Amino acid sequence: MAEQGEEDREYREYRRLEDCEEDSPHGEEEEEQLLLHVTEGPTGTGTWGVHHPLKVSLTPPHIYHFHQRNGFACVVLSDVLELVQFLFVVTFSTFLLCCVDYDVLFATRPLNHSHVPEHTKVTLPDAVLPAPQCARRLRGSGWLLFLLVLAGAVWLCRLVTALRRLVGYWEIRSFYIRALGIPAEELCNHSWQSVQARLLALQRRQPLCVPRRELTELDIHHRILRFRNYPVAMVNKSLLPVRFRLPLLGPVVFLTRGLQFNLELLLFRGPAALFQNTWSLRPQVKRAGARRALARGL
Residues of the chain by 3-state class (helix, strand, coil), percent to 5: 55, 5, 40
Spans of the chain, pLDDT less than 50: 1-4, 7, 10-57, 114-116
Residue 240 lies in a domain: no
Residue 243 lies in a domain: no
At residue 39, φ and ψ (nearest 5 deg) are -100, 120
As a whole number of angstroms, the distance between CA 121 and CA 96 comes to: 21
Residue 212 lies in a domain: no
pLDDT score, position 154: 94
Residue 131 lies in a domain: yes
SS3 for 246? strand
Asked if omega into 211 is within 30° of 0 (cis), the reply is yes
pLDDT score, position 28: 38
- Are 113 and 121 in contact by the 8 Å Cβ rule? The answer is no
- Are 222 and 215 in contact by the 8 Å Cβ rule? The answer is no
Residue 154 lies in a domain: yes
pLDDT score, position 268: 80
pLDDT score, position 204: 81
As a whole number of angstroms, the distance between CA 220 and CA 123 comes to: 59
As a whole number of angstroms, the distance between CA 81 and CA 158 comes to: 12
pLDDT score, position 209: 60
Residue 140 lies in a domain: yes
Q: Which residues contact 66 (CB under 8 A, 6 or more apart)?
A: 72, 75, 169, 172, 173, 176
Distances (CA, A) of 226 to 198, 215, 232, 262: 22, 16, 10, 18
Q: Which residues contact 296 (CB under 8 A, 6 or more apart)?
A: 7, 10
Helix (H) or strand (E) holding 158: helix 142-174
pLDDT score, position 58: 64
Residue 133 lies in a domain: yes
Residue 209 lies in a domain: no
Give which of 288, 21, 84, 70 is closest to 187, Cα–Cα: 70
pLDDT score, position 119: 53
DSSP structure class, residue 30 = P
Beta strands in the chain (DSSP E): 243-246, 250-253
Number of domains in the chain: 1
As a whole number of angstroms, the distance between CA 52 and CA 191 comes to: 30
pLDDT one-digit tens code per residue, 121-155: 777 787 888 888 888 888 888 888 999 999 999 99
As a whole number of angstroms, the distance between CA 288 and CA 23 comes to: 6
As a whole number of angstroms, the distance between CA 260 and CA 250 comes to: 22
Q: How far is CA 197 from the centre of its chain?
A: 26
Residue ranges making up the domain that contains 139: 55-111+122-188
Distances (CA, A) of 258 to 240, 262, 263: 14, 6, 9
pLDDT score, position 85: 96
pLDDT score, position 111: 62
